[in-house]
């Protein structure tokens, strides 16, 4: 009998190294109970799309400028996810704010990765190098990354798992970002595993994984 797998949809805006970490974990068996069935990017040149193609995963570039409103844009994303029976959405470096229709549709079924130790250094404008600049400016001794549930505020939902890294003397935003990113790649698959086995994840979607 075929085992029912968790069907992951990934939204990305850029390089997609976190997407790759998820694909590798599926492939390598750490996430054997899951499969990535769709990757959507809001940027045509997002390398994440190439990674999806290389892995044989359906990929779509959806241009937000082609939609009358952001709600319409996310409605289209919902439709594409529904068409592939996605039951877990992972935001892997996706830079658009998620509209309420999408938040509602994937309540308790959407995870984001953020390159800091939330609740510190999250919120509007806290993305990419801005995060690491702020961490350095605040004189923090450690930073890290967080995977959290997505709600209607930026970087706000319940934290599932975190990993820490030291902030080292002489760090600049690039060196710190690289140290954090390495941990992100381990964290996202770990957090997916922890999350789908947690009581938050809807029971009917669980399987033998
Ligand atoms: C990561 O640092 C992620 O936390 C942030 O954007 C970066 C995306 O990297 N939100 P990638 O596209 O997964 O390589």
- pLDDT tens digits for 176-190? 999 999 999 999 999
Residue 56 burial class via C-beta count within 10 angstroms: exposed 0-12, middle 13-18, buried 19 and up? exposed
List the structure tokens of 118. 């939330």
DSSP structure class, residue 4: P
Cβ 55 vs Cβ 23: under 8 Å: yes
- Å from CA of 75 to ligand 1 middle: 24
Task: Give the pLDDT confidence score for residue 201 in this predicted structure.
Answer: 87
User: Tens digits of per-residue pLDDT, 19-72?
Assistant: 999 999 999 999 999 999 999 999 999 999 999 999 999 999 999 999 999 999
Which pLDDT score, from 0 to 100, does residue 152 have?
84
**Does 41 contact ligand 1 (Cβ within 6 A)?**
no
Question: What is the pTM (predicted TM-score) of this model?
Answer: 0.94
What is the Å distance from ligand 1's center to 127 Cα? Answer: 9
Atom of ligand 1 minimally distant from the CA of 114: 4
* pLDDT for the residue 154: 85
Given pLDDT bands bounded at 50, 70 and 90, which one contains residue 153?
confident
Asked whether residue 113 carries a pLDDT value surpassing 80, the answer given is yes
């Amino acid at each position: 009998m075929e085992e029912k797998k968790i069907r992951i949809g990934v939204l990305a805006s850029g390089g997609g190294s976190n997407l790759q970490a998820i694909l590798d974990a599926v492939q390598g068996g750490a996430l054997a109970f899951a499969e990535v069935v769709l990757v959507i990017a809001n940027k045509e040149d997002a390398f994440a799309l190439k990674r999806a193609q290389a892995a044989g995963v359906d990929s779509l570039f959806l241009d937000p400028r082609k939609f009358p409103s952001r709600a319409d844009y996310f409605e289209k994303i919902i439709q594409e996810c529904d068409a592939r029976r996605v039951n877990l959405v992972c935001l892997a470096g996706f830079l658009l704010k998620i509209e309420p229709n999408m938040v509602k549709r994937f309540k308790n079924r959407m995870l984001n990765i953020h390159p800091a130790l939330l609740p510190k250094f999250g919120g509007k404008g806290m993305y990419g190098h801005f995060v690491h600049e702020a961490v350095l400016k605040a004189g923090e001794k450690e930073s890290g990354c967080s995977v959290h549930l997505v709600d209607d505020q930026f970087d706000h939902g319940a934290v599932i798992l975190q990993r820490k890294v030291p902030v080292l003397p002489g760090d600049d935003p690039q060196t710190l970002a690289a140290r954090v990113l390495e941990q992100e790649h381990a964290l996202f698959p770990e957090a997916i595993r922890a999350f789908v086995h947690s009581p938050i994840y809807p029971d009917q979607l669980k399987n033998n994984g």
